[in-house]
Structure 1
Amino acid sequence: MIYRIRDLRLSLANMAHKPLLGSAPRIEILKGVSFDVPQGAVLGIVGGSGSGKSTLGRAMLRLIEPDSGQIEFEGRNITHAPEAELRLLRHRFQMIFQDPMSSLNPRRRVGGIIAGPLRLQGLDNIDARVSEALDMVGLPRTFARRYPHELSGGQRQRVGIARAIALRPRFILADEIVSGLDVSSQAQVLNLLEELVREFGLTLAFISHDLSVVRRLCNRVLVLHHGEIVEEVETSALFDNPKADYTRSLLGAIPLPDPDQVWL
């Protein structure tokens, strides 16, 4: 297994209800979540707004600290691993963010953005690795000299993917990475992810609220609702025979190309 998650619990301060004096009340976001991510899987993590899916993804990568439970990456318990230990592992798990404009430093050129993680890991041949990463995501090497604002939304997202795969990770978490793109750019980015998964044997966790996208890309789906897993099955089984009422409600919200088609 790439990931093994056991009884993961996490609560965050509810700043919307913070009193003038004292600390903000805490709200439980993840409520004892347990699942495995096999090597080579493309796992969809779906749920409505506030379901906890993005929080779960960040906890998996130890970008936020869980309250309890266990996170194993490639057989190593990283639940409370110190930052020095995590730094040695971070080249093996990477993240692609939802909004490429806010996740890319506007004052740095594309080449510098992709090179940043490579330098942090102390790697050599930085320029060659940057060029290779641009090749892998289908961007001209000359884009290394451009700034993010000079690119389209789809191109910026490709830069985010290039930054993630430049380190040749074993696992990538993609958090709503096509939600802000037009239909054409969405298709191009999804095609790219499919190619990278095939070529490099990547394991991918794909967070999305769009089940039609998940159906195309993922071979397994985890449905999260109010911080709990209500269903975890193969993608075909989820669409052909959903078990949970909440899953049926998500499926019912998908726009259908055929007005006579009905999800069970």
Structure 2
Amino acid sequence: MMYDIANLELSLPDLANKPLLGKAPRVEILKGLSFQVPKGAVLGIVGASGSGKSTLGRAMLRLLEPTAGQIIFDGTDITHLPEEHLRAMRRRFQMIFQDPMSSLNPRRRVHGLIAGPLKLHGFEDISKRVAEALDMVGLPAHFAMRYPHELSGGQRQRVGIARAIALRPDFILADEIVSGLDVSSQAQVLNLLGDLVRDLGLTLAFISHDLSVIRRLCTRALVLNQGKIVEDADIADLFDNPQAAYTRELLSAIPLPDPYQAWV
């Protein structure tokens, strides 16, 4: 099992309502979430804005520390693992962020963006690994010398993917990574992720507000609403026989029965 999560809770300071003196009140974001992610799975995490899906993703990677509950990653309890012990594990779980322009240092060339984490984790043959990563995401070798602003949105997202897979992780979390792309670029990135999952044996969690995207890529999905899991089902069951009223609302918001049909 790649992830075994039990009764996960997480609260964050409500800075908007912080008094002039004293601590900010805390707002409960995640409310008793329990689920498992088998090795090799492609899990969708779906919900409307504010449902807690991105917070859940960051908690899974210990970018946020849970208030209660347990996170087991590949047999190791990382719930409150100190950073000095967690650092050695971080190569094994990587994140691809929604906005590549904010996650890619604009002052560094693509080579440096991918090479940085490799150096941090003590890899050798850095240039070779950078070239291999670019090749795996379908970018020519000369892109290594470009800056992020010289790339299209889809190309920047491919660089983000290359930076993650260069470390040869076991698990990748992708947070709304196609939401800012046009339809054609979305299709290309989703196809690329599917190929990488198959070729590299990755376990993937894909966060999206769009069920049609989840259907295109994932085999199973968690539906979140107000910090709770309202449905956990295989994709076919989710679309053919949704159990939660909230899931049916999300399905009814899809503008076409299958907007990805023309891409396949």
Q: TM class by shorter-chain length? A: over 0.9
Per-residue CA deviations over 1:211-261 (Å, capped at 9, x if unaligned) read 001001000000011111010000000000000001111111110258xxx
3-state SS of paired residue (2:132): helix
1:27-38 matches, within 5 Å, as: 27-38=27-38
The 5-angstrom pairing of residues 178-197 of structure 1 reads: 178-197=178-197
1:221-240 alignment, distance < 5 Å = 221-240=221-240
Tell me which residue corresponds to 2:15.
15
Q: Percent identity?
A: 76
Matching of residues 134-213 of structure 1 within 5 Å: 134-213=134-213
4+ aligned runs moved over 3 Å, structure 1? none
Correspondence for 1:49: 49
Within 1, Cα distance between the matches of 2:256 and 2:181? 20
Structure 1 residue 46 displacement after superposition: 0.4
How far apart are the structure 2 equivalents of 1:110 and 1:87?
Answer: 24
Aligned equivalents of 1:123 and 1:73: distance in 2?
23
Task: For residues 158-190 of structure 1, give each alpha carbon's deviation from its aligned partner in whole angstroms, at most 9, with x where no partner exists.
Answer: 000000000111100000000000111101100
SS at match of 1:35: strand
Equivalent residue letter for 2:63 = L
Q: Secondary structure at the match of 2:50?
A: coil
For 2:224 and 2:79, locate their aligned partners in 1 and report how far apart those are by CA, in whole Å. 21
The 1:230/1:257 distance shift into structure 2, 3 A limit, reads closer
Runs of 5+ unmatched residues, structure 2 = 259-264
Shift of 1:157: 0.1
Aligned residue in 2 for 1:249? 249
Q: Amino acid of the residue matched to residue 110 of structure 1?
A: V
Q: Which residue in the other structure is 1:6 paired with?
A: 6
Matched to 1:194, the amino acid is G
The TM-score, its normalising length taken from structure 2, stands at 0.96
How far apart, in 2, do the equivalents of 1:86 and 1:126 lie?
A: 23
Task: Count residues in correspondence.
Answer: 258
Q: Measure the CA separation in 1 of the matches of 2:125 and 2:257.
A: 49
Q: Pairwise mapping of residues 71-90 of structure 1 onto structure 2 (< 5 A)?
A: 71-90=71-90
Within 1, Cα distance between the matches of 2:75 and 2:4?
8
